[in-house]
Amino acid sequence: MDFTDYLITKHAVAAKIQAYSWKEAISEGGKVLVGTGACTPEYISAIIETCEMNGPYFVISRGIAMPHARPEKGGLDDGAALVTLETPVVFEDPENDPIDILIFISAKTAASHVEDAMCQVADFCDDAENIEALRSMNTSDEILKFLKKIKGNKK
C-alpha cells in the first residue's frame, strides 16, 4: 500500500476536526478510516480500549499519533487516514503532548500489518516541512492538494 496514494484515492483526510479529549479525537478521526472501508467501527473502539489498558502506545512523535489496533479487532483491509485537530489534545504522553495530527493505520492480516505504510508514515513525519504545512491547512481539499504535490515531487 502506498500511503500517499491511498489517502488521495480514498479522500481519507479530514482537517481541523473538533475533539476535546484523546478518546474523542480517536473516535471522530476514526470515522474517516471507517469511511474508507478499511475497518469496522469496532476497530476504532479497540484502539481506545487498548490505549486505556496500555497507555498511548501509538504516539510516535511530538504532536503526532498513529492510532492502530490488531487486525483481528476489525481490520478489513490495509488502509490509512490522516486527520488534523482544530485544537491539540493531551494523550497522556508527556514527551509528545499535545497531539494535533493523527495518522490512522489498519491492516487486513497480522502478516501484512502494513510495514511499508508505517515506514512511509515515518518518512512523511520526519520531514518537518510536511508537518508544519499540515498544521497550517484548514480544509481537507488543501490537504489533498498538498499530498498530490508531494506525490508529484517524488516522481
Bridge-based pairing of strands 99-106 and 64-65 is parallel
Active site residue 68: yes
Choose, from 68, 71, 124, 125, the residue flagged as catalytic. Answer: 68
Alpha helices in the chain (DSSP H): 3-10, 22-35, 41-54, 115-126, 128-136, 140-153
Closest to 78 in 3D by CA, of 154, 152, 10: 10
Strand order in the sheet with 79-89: 13-17, 79-89, 99-106, 64-65, 59-61
In the structure grid, which three cell numbers stand for residue 110, read together? Answer: 497480522
Catalytic residue positions?
A: 68
